[in-house]
Structure 1
Amino acid sequence: MRLFGKKVSIIGLGITGFYTALFLKKNGADVYVSDIKGMDELKKEYVDKLKYLGCHIKACGYDEKTILDSDILVLSPGVSSDLDVVKKAKECGVEVIAEIELAYRFCPYPIVAITGTNGKSTVTSMIGHVFEQSGVKVFVGGNLGKPFISCLLEDQNWDLIVLEISSFQLENIKEFCPYVSIILNITPDHMDRYKDFRHYTDTKLKIFKNQKENSFLILNDDDPILSKIKTEKVKVLRFGKEEKQNRAAFLKNDSIEICFNGIKEDFSVKDIPLLGEHNIINTMPVLLVAFIFGIKKSILQKAVSSFKPLPHRLEPVFKKQGILFINDSKATNVDSAIKAIEGIDASVILIAGGKNKGLDFSCLAEKAKGKVKHAVFIGESAFYMLK
């Protein structure tokens, strides 16, 4: 793919749009960036740097004429494909792609990509930590921290790229093909963006659509959607709570047992420094990825046990008068809230709410019975949760 002399538009000037513009400019493209925010709302550092490099910036909306006259349109993750200008661009023959698609086309390194409704950041960070502790030069990013494309701007070679991938980022991929794909779970979320749950699910499943026979797909076999996936074009490794014939990882006698390429190893769950059974399950794909790349058990055990939990994810804050205060503010959908409640071995006072994403809270109400002592609802979703 040649970028030199190409006219490329970017919608969205957040961190992803910024690094995308830097990469495009470095490769000789004529870059146009637009954002619905006003100029004073955009990060001044981004605006000044891009203007200095000769990028064209349009605030307070989109320059439709420029976009429709572009060779390529790159969408930032927060930008919906349903925007009229995006639809028109596709109709006019403009190639519309995601930032991860652009980065992939120039990335010479193996990629481990993690998606799912919940648990992505923890699993992505833990995989990155395991490889760092093993002496591997690993870039960790995507929907977590730095955008994928930023690794191509750094003056070093990588051994491995580990990416958290959201459904938004998967909407406009064409060739994106990880060496290892991981899908942790699929439950309703972002129903304010997708027309229905099927649309959301299909978008998540795009992560492995381009994978080949020599690559791996790791699936949570306890998930009712993922357990039904059948494919022969990629090596499938399944994990789940109970031991089953087709599972490469499962719980057995307070240990995670791994069965891979004729090798059996067990890892004590006591070494996992995370709250909740769901986080024990989430450690399974981390171990499987390590086995795929041949990391020794002794190094792997030490790396997992030294992992520091991410902030805002079942994070113990302080304890007073026998009450433990836990920050789980990254639980932004029903399933993640349920997993948090299930993961606490005590009665719970629940403070929940926030943006209304069109979710059904009936399952949360059912799980809260007998476990949640008091509940306080806040934000625009409070009314719907109270019902």
Structure 2
Amino acid sequence: MRDMVHSGQLAGHTAVVVGAGASGRAAVRLLSRLGAWVRLLEKNPAAIPADFCQAQACKGVEILTGEHTPGHFAGADLVVLSPGISRASLAPYLTACPDAQVLAELELASWFVEAPMVAVTGTNGKTTTVMLISHLLTRAGLSVFTGGNIGTPLSEYVLAGEPADVCVIEASSFQLQNVFTFHPKVAVLLNFSANHLDWHADMDEYLAAKLRLFAMQGPPDLAIVPADLDYLLTGRAFTKARIETFAASDRFRCPRLLGRHNQADMEAAFAAVRPFGVTQELAETAFFDFAPAPHRIQVLGEKRGVIFVDDSKATTVTAMRAAIETFDRPVHLLAGGVFKGGDLEGMITLLRERVKSVGLFGGSREIFESAWQGALPLEWSATLAEAVEKLYARALSGEVILLSPATSSFDLYSSYKARGRDFQAVFAALPGAPESPTGEKP
């Protein structure tokens, strides 16, 4: 793989990278290695690490901060977008480089990947499924790179020059909207529901971005979709892959993965690894000892018999529904933040069946109250800590306090991880002797 990346490939070309997050910085380093003249644009100067600025300035990379201008894009042959930056938002500036190829960092990096790629997209469950797939492949004795929208950008894998047997990639709609040759051997769509409608123009655009995952696949490749969504691919001209469906079942068990939706994720993961020789027997053993990432229906423990569950990663209404359906005991729900769309009123029947009270916190108060006021006890607090304390005061032994916000975190926190960590700190500080989670389904 080292031979694939050398300084002559983009010599004489100008590349503009928009956004200085992890993928943007990785793209800058890769483009520079390829010999391009690189300009990095970032509106927030504080987002760029000082050591990165120094190192790239020595290599001739131009770093510009503040509001974009058409001049920043003048002469560009390539414009590489970080996840979360839409092409539409740059339309006024791209007129300065009408012939430039605008692409995602994922697309750029994939040009230099020889290993077979397994790529996973969907509204919910992407990270858990990617981790499951990587866990299964590793247990089968294969070397695995795990990255993309989760953790390490694919460009970092290319730069490292250490080939893996398989690359397992989480792909977001933001990334997929700007890929054109990205070609996974196995592509997985987990599910689809309203999300990111504060970013995408509408549901049709959001779905079209997801389905780009399958666009470059051919007959030797595998496209995996839920049984109830197979109509999205069957008979469609844009993919020629072999199509396989999946649905939740009781075939596999993982004590640390609760809920029917995780049963579906395990089925999807197994379907994705079968082409690499993973047997059902190996999968059964590997699933059982799998440890999921934090903040995904993570049982923190108990105080006074009340179970605390951190599902801060639930940034959609669909994810909230799945979390609530996981528990067969009364739930006190924590919700609130930056609402991204979804049918809150459609949740009322489930809320009445399983949720005793709702503690709202932070942003979107008026949206939640408009949808749920009068359906069940509902109270708003300015902070998560205050909302938790109120729910804890009324919760009874055997009940659940569930953080599953159905929103992004950017009203009060820098990320869903920061929100989850705060919830865990609040839990630790509450009165009552903590008890460790058992790992069994509550």
Amino acid at match of 1:288: A
Distance 1:74 1:270, change over 3 A: closer
Does 2:300 align with 1:317? Answer: yes
> Which residue in 1 is equivalent to 2:142?
136
Gaps of 5+ in 1: 242-250, 257-268
Residue 12 (structure 1) shift: 0.3
| Aligned counterpart, 1:211 | 217
Is the CA contact 1:319–1:325 (under 8 Å) kept in the aligned structure 2?
yes
Equivalence for 1:157:
163
Q: Which amino acid aligns with 2:163?
A: N
TM-superposed CA distance for 1:85, in Å, is: 4.4
1:344 matched to 2:327: yes
Shift in CA distance, 177/309, structure 1 to aligned 2, threshold 3 Å: same
| Counterpart for residue 115 of structure 2 | 109
Taking the aligned partners of 1:326 and 1:313, their CA distance within structure 2 comes to 9
Match of 2:286 in 1: 303
Secondary structure of 1:153 counterpart: helix
Q: SS in structure 2 opposite 1:217?
A: strand
Task: Tell me which residue corresponds to 1:229.
Answer: 233
Cα 1:218–1:65 shift into 2, 3 Å: same
Alpha-carbon contact 1:351-1:378 (below 8 Å) kept: yes
Give matches, 1:115-264, under 5 Å.
115-223=121-229, 226-231=230-235, 233-241=240-248, 251=249, 255-256=250-251
Q: Kindly provide the CA deviation profile for residues 302-323 of structure 1, in whole angstroms up to 9, marking residues without a partner as x.
A: 2211210210000001211221
Please tell me the residue identity of whatever aligns with 1:173: V
The total of aligned residue pairs comes to: 360
- The alignment partner of 2:307 has SS state of strand
- Normalised to the residue count of structure 2, the TM-score between the two structures is 0.78
Q: CA deviation at 1:63?
A: 4.6
**1:197-240, Cα deviation, whole Å (9 max, x unpaired):** 111111111110111011000001134xx444314711001011
Asked whether the 8 Å contact 2:43–2:65 carries over to 1, the reply is yes
CA distance in 1, matches of 2:46, 2:189: 39
Structure 1 residue 16 and structure 2 residue 23: aligned? yes
The amino acid of 2:261's aligned partner reads H
CA distance in 1, matches of 2:138, 2:19: 32
Moved more, 298-307 or 319-328: 298-307
> Do the aligned residues in 1 keep the contact of 2:147 with 2:168 (CA within 8 Å)?
yes
Contact 2:339 2:364 in 1 (8 A): yes
Instruction: Name the Cα RMSD after superposition.
Output: 1.8
Structure with greater proportional strand content? 1
> Which residue in 2 is equivalent to 1:32?
39
1:75 aligns with 2:86: no
Q: How does the TM-score come out when normalised to structure 1?
A: 0.89
Kindly indicate whether the alpha-carbon contact (under 8 Å) linking 1:271 and 1:305 is maintained by their aligned counterparts in 2. Answer: yes
- In 2, Cα distance between equivalents of 1:79 and 1:292: 34
- 1:344-383 Cα deviation digits (max 9, x unpaired): 1211000011112243311223321120001011222121
- Distance of 1:179 and 1:41 partners within structure 2: 35
Where do 4+ consecutive residues of structure 1 move more than 6 Å? Answer: none
Letter aligned with residue 28 of structure 1: G
1:117 Cα deviation from its structure 2 partner:
0.1
Q: Please tell me whether the aligned partners of residues 70 and 93 of structure 2 are also in contact (alpha carbons under 8 angstroms).
A: no
In structure 2, the CA distance between the partners of 1:105 and 1:376, relative to structure 1 (3 Å rule), is same
